[in-house]
Amino acid sequence: MHRVIAALLAVASCAAIAHAQTSPSPPSSSPPFTLERALIAAGASSPSLEVADAGVRAAGAARTVAGLRPNPQVQVQVENVGGSGLYRGTQSAETTTGLALPIELGGKRSARIAVADSRRDRARIEAAIVEADLRERVTMAYVAAVSAERRVAVARQLAEFANRGFSAASTRVTAGAASPIEQQRADVERVNANVAFDRAVREAVVAKENLARLIGEPIAGELDVAWFDRVGTYGPAVPVSAQGTLIIAAAEADVTTADALVRLARSQRVPDVTLNAGARRLSASGDTAAIFGLSIPFPLFNNGRAAVSQAESERLQVDARRRVTLLETEQTIASVQAELANAAASARAAGGPALSAATEAARIARIGYAQGRFSQLDLLVAERTLADTNGAFVDALVAYHDAEARLARLTVPAPVIAETPQ
């Protein structure tokens, strides 16, 4: 039997090559719904991008707040009223009206601005991260939808083979050339193939609906199967550094924020000064006198040293986390590169001569079985080989495109953030 299958594969290879050279593919009636179109639609309707944009605007408003100076205070004070004797009523009242102006020392304002700037830059990087994550999600959903359509085509072909096999088995049993068991076995294969086809159709509908929900618009027409079948030519993977990527930019932005928080904590150790100036009116004599004052807090219980120690420890923690992120990202990039190369090799092997030969072998086995030249077992082996090859090809394409999307997500370059004048 193995020799028969080997002969079928050899004949099928030659037939498939000749068929590929002489039979052009029919043109598509309408342009397919491409991945790029899906990405554009998702970018226009995704609520996650709106959340990220709102975060950037909030960080910009926080930067404005950080640059504001303390408000002055208007102070009014009345003394020597409501007493007894000379101080009964308001005849001896002393009314003081003044203005208190807080003055920040130690660079507190510039330290606050530095913290707000770093958080605003981090919000912009977070917005870029959300966009990259959305692109990866849409790509994987598109891959799932188009691979489901490919599996529908495979299941349809197997169902057609099973229906023809049942017809051929019925004809042979009627002619007395085969046992009724063959007809029953062919009927089981037909039923199972039709059930598998119905299941594949339902899964394709669900996958397409999920993609439509993600991008926020209905999908008209077929998906881009040609893009799905296309595999890039990858040789030995060139190592890719994680430096300059979006992931490392986020970790470095966290370190910058931690540095600014250390600077802010140190500035808080310098006491602020409040200047007071006003006028006092003496009701008894009608005279008015100027008043000047200066108040400085005395750091007796809280001198800010503990806050500085906390900020410095958190800065060391964030910097260590940055180094861990760099190491893990480079390891992940190397692993995904290997997965991408392996998937590309598997797809080229499964979708090349092997798939053409298996398809032609199944066709020849079907004809030979109908003519009584091959047994039903030979036919089942040929069809199972075709199904396995088709499934391996689709699985390899899914693995390839998923790895390609993950590698693209890992290597997204950091956005260029323009400096804002202080």
DSSP-derived pairing of the beta strands 288-295 and 273-282? antiparallel
Given a contact cutoff of 8 angstroms between Cβ atoms, the answer to whether 159 and 193 are in contact is: yes
> Could you state, in order of their start, the residue ranges of all structural domains in the chain?
2-20+35-69+104-269+304-410, 70-103+271-303
Vertex 152 angle, CA 150 and 157, to 5°: 100
Given a contact cutoff of 8 angstroms between Cβ atoms, the answer to whether 261 and 115 are in contact is: yes
Vertex 227 angle, CA 224 and 231, to 5°: 160
Q: Residue 368: is it exposed, middle or buried by C-beta count within 10 angstroms (0-12/13-18/19+)?
A: middle
Given a contact cutoff of 8 angstroms between Cβ atoms, the answer to whether 40 and 57 are in contact is: no
All residues at 6 or more sequence positions from 230 whose CB lies less than 8 Å from its CB, including other chains: none
**CATH homologous superfamily for 2-20+35-69+104-269+304-410?**
Outer membrane efflux proteins (OEP) (1.20.1600.10)
pLDDT (tens place) for every residue of the chain, 422 residues total: 334 334 433 334 333 333 333 333 344 457 899 999 999 999 998 899 999 999 999 999 999 999 999 999 999 988 888 777 777 777 778 888 999 999 999 999 999 999 999 999 999 999 999 999 999 999 999 999 999 999 998 888 888 878 877 777 787 678 777 678 877 877 888 898 899 999 999 999 999 999 999 999 998 888 998 899 888 765 555 677 888 999 999 999 999 999 999 999 999 999 999 999 999 887 777 788 888 999 998 888 889 999 999 999 999 999 999 999 999 999 999 999 999 999 998 888 887 777 788 888 878 877 886 777 777 667 777 877 888 888 889 999 999 999 999 999 999 999 887 665 54
d(CA 174, CA 177): 8
Q: Is 82 left (phi over 0), alpha (psi -120 to 50) or beta?
A: left
All residues at 6 or more sequence positions from 204 whose CB lies less than 8 Å from its CB, including other chains: 145, 148, 149, 151, 152
State how far the alpha carbon of 404 is from the alpha carbons of 25, 90, 175, 245, 397, in Å: 27, 85, 55, 16, 10
d(CA 139, CA 402): 8
Whole-model pTM? 0.79
Q: Residues of 346-359 as b/e, b for ≥16 C-beta within 10 angstroms?
A: bbbebbeebbbbbb
Query: In this structure, what are the phi and psi dihedrals at residue 134, rounded to the nearest 5 degrees?
Result: -65, -40
Dihedral angle computed from the Cα positions of residues 321, 324, 325 and 330, in that order, rounded to the nearest 10 degrees: 170
